[in-house]
Structure 1
Amino acid sequence: MFTNEEIASFNELETSLYNFITQNIEKVVYMRIRELADETHVSTATILRFCRKVNCSGFSEFKVRLKLQLENEKSTVIKSGQHSITEFFERTLTGNIEEKIKKAAKVVTDAETVIFIGIGSSGILAEYGARYFSSLGTFSMYIKDPHFPIHPHILNDSVTIALSVSGESNYTVRHINQLKQEGSKIVSITNSKHSTVAKISDVNIPYYVTNEWYENSNITTQVPVMYILETMAREIYKINENKNRD
């Protein structure tokens, strides 16, 4: 329902409104504009401006579009793997993702310690990322426990690579805040640059594919994350090889 261009145009208040709506669609379609304003702590004028930005004449039309989206989601059609890959290549690889990967790789090569974090399927890929990086000569660790003891002097010269599809996981946000406060630089890989995780990161690499859910499970493709992790690891390897030759 929301295009990349529309999301990019949101200011801070509109972004928080967007996050609430996307996470509470079934509730929002039955709310009055004043109820939504009270729930999200924004003015009705902000909500109307938000509606106009997504090409709706007002809140009533916006709710109609939300209801149509809900009806479409109830008749879930699982997209083919080819569709997901094509979408990633068309939306992301035509942008500046390679530049962002190189920037992230530079941050990693400047650090002494590399930490991967994530939860759920992102946690599985974080563990894979730590192994893949280590295989190419950049020793990395995957930490799933936010209370895992790490000496402060290690975190002062570290980089944390955080994986999150939504970028709104409370667990991941809290974990990032803890590591950031101890001095770790944050590189995040998320599905949108407007998420909380993306905004509190030093470097964010967004990949923009359609979120997919089946019942209560997020089945959004993780192929873009694999691509980004492996490309970043190879870029880090090249940088280190050039340093060694010099």
Structure 2
Amino acid sequence: MFSPEEIQSLNELEFLLYNYVVKNSEKVIYMRIRDLAKEVHVSTTTILRFCKKMDCNGFSEFKVKLKMFLEEQEKQILNDDKTVFLEFLNRASSKDFDELMNKACSIIHDSAEVLFIGIGNSGGIAAYGAHYFSSLNKLSSSISDPFYPVTGEVKEKSLAIVLSVSGETPTIISHASRLKSNNWKIISITNSKNSTLAQMSDVTITYYAQYQTYKYYDITTQLPVMYIIETLAKRVFNLAQNEKK
């Protein structure tokens, strides 16, 4: 119900309202606008402006849409990700994809250290990526805290691998922008080559998995991301091994 574009358009007060609605949806659909305003400590004008940004003419229409959304979620059946992953593996077998992976490997191999960045599910994968790379002798660390201070201080051959399904998460874009302005190399792993993050990156590896959500949560499969990370790590390891021969 709440698209990334709609969420990004919210100001500070509207975002407080959004957070309350997400956590109390079953309660909100039965509330009066004055009661909601009192509960969140915002004005009714703020609520109406919020509703307009959610493409609703007023609070009553917003509640109807919210109720319908909740009912749909209760009936939702989640698809197995096997087909999605097999389709990705088919694309990953192409020459273009292989060349893109090799280009990323060359940048990673030349870097002194790798910083993985991700938030939410991508944050968990970022931590895994840093651990996996470090296990194969590539010094790596990760950031999954959206409020972590990224100063962007330049180290020799600095590289960030940034993970984001949408490529539009404001905090991720902010982190990447700071690093980019300080001459870091950016490799992004995302679901869309047309995203803001992709446009900022030196190399973008896209996997085009079908978006899946449950309630307000992004549950898009991370299997392609895991494959990409593990394949990159192994190829970089092999590059280093070949240099020793």
Q: Which residue of 2 aligns with 1:194?
A: 194
1:26-41 equivalences under 5 Å are: none
Q: Residue 115 of structure 1 contacts residue 141 of structure 1 at CA under 8 Å; is this kept in 2?
A: yes
| Pairwise CA distance, 1:218 | 0.6
Aligned: 1:147 with 2:186: no
- Whole-angstrom CA distance in 2 between matches of 1:134 and 1:77: 38
Cα shift readout 1:131-153 (whole Å, capped 9, x = no counterpart): 10011111111123541567x34
SS in 1 for 2:98: helix
Q: Residue 191 of structure 2 contacts residue 209 of structure 2 at CA under 8 Å; is this kept in 1?
A: yes
Q: Which residue of 2 aligns with 1:135?
A: 135
Amino acid in structure 1 at the alignment position of 2:83? H
Q: Residue 166 of structure 2 contacts residue 192 of structure 2 at CA under 8 Å; is this kept in 1?
A: yes
1:13-162 equivalences under 5 Å are: 20=5, 76-94=76-94, 96-145=96-145, 146-148=148-150, 152-154=153-155, 156-162=156-162
SS in 1 for 2:210: coil
- Whole-angstrom CA distance in 2 between matches of 1:81 and 1:205: 20
Q: Residue 105 of structure 1 contacts residue 232 of structure 1 at CA under 8 Å; is this kept in 2?
A: yes
Aligned: 1:222 with 2:207: no
Q: Residue 92 of structure 1 contacts residue 208 of structure 1 at CA under 8 Å; is this kept in 2?
A: no
Q: Residue 187 of structure 1 contacts residue 204 of structure 1 at CA under 8 Å; is this kept in 2?
A: yes
- Whole-angstrom CA distance in 2 between matches of 1:126 and 1:185: 17
Q: Which residue of 1 aligns with 2:234?
A: 234
TM-score (norm 2): 0.67
SS in 1 for 2:208: coil
- Whole-angstrom CA distance in 1 between matches of 2:185 and 2:8: 29
Q: Residue 159 of structure 1 contacts residue 185 of structure 1 at CA under 8 Å; is this kept in 2?
A: yes
Q: Which residue of 2 aligns with 1:60?
A: none
Question: Aligned pairs, how many?
Answer: 188
| Pairwise CA distance, 1:170 | 0.4
Cα shift readout 1:161-186 (whole Å, capped 9, x = no counterpart): 00001111001000001111122100
| Pairwise CA distance, 1:118 | 0.5
TM-score (norm 1): 0.67
- Whole-angstrom CA distance in 1 between matches of 2:95 and 2:87: 13
Q: Structure 1's 213 and 23: CA in aligned 2 closer, same or farther, altered over 3 A?
A: farther
| Pairwise CA distance, 1:28 | 9.3
- Whole-angstrom CA distance in 1 between matches of 2:172 and 2:6: 21
Amino acid in structure 2 at the alignment position of 1:238? N
Cα shift readout 1:59-96 (whole Å, capped 9, x = no counterpart): xxxxxxxxxxx9xx765331113223223224544462
In terms of Rg, which structure is larger? Answer: 2
Segments of structure 1 that go 5 or more residues without pairing to the other structure are 1-17, 32-69
Stretch of structure 1 that moved more, 88-97 or 193-202? 88-97
SS in 1 for 2:78: coil
Identical-residue share of aligned pairs (%): 39
Q: Which residue of 1 aligns with 2:213?
A: 213
SS in 2 for 1:127: helix
- Whole-angstrom CA distance in 2 between matches of 1:209 and 1:90: 12
Cα shift readout 1:77-120 (whole Å, capped 9, x = no counterpart): 31113223223224544462222111111001111121110101
Segments of structure 2 that go 5 or more residues without pairing to the other structure are 10-50, 57-68
- Whole-angstrom CA distance in 2 between matches of 1:121 and 1:175: 17
Cα shift readout 1:10-43 (whole Å, capped 9, x = no counterpart): xxxxxxxx9848999x989969xxxxxxxxxxxx
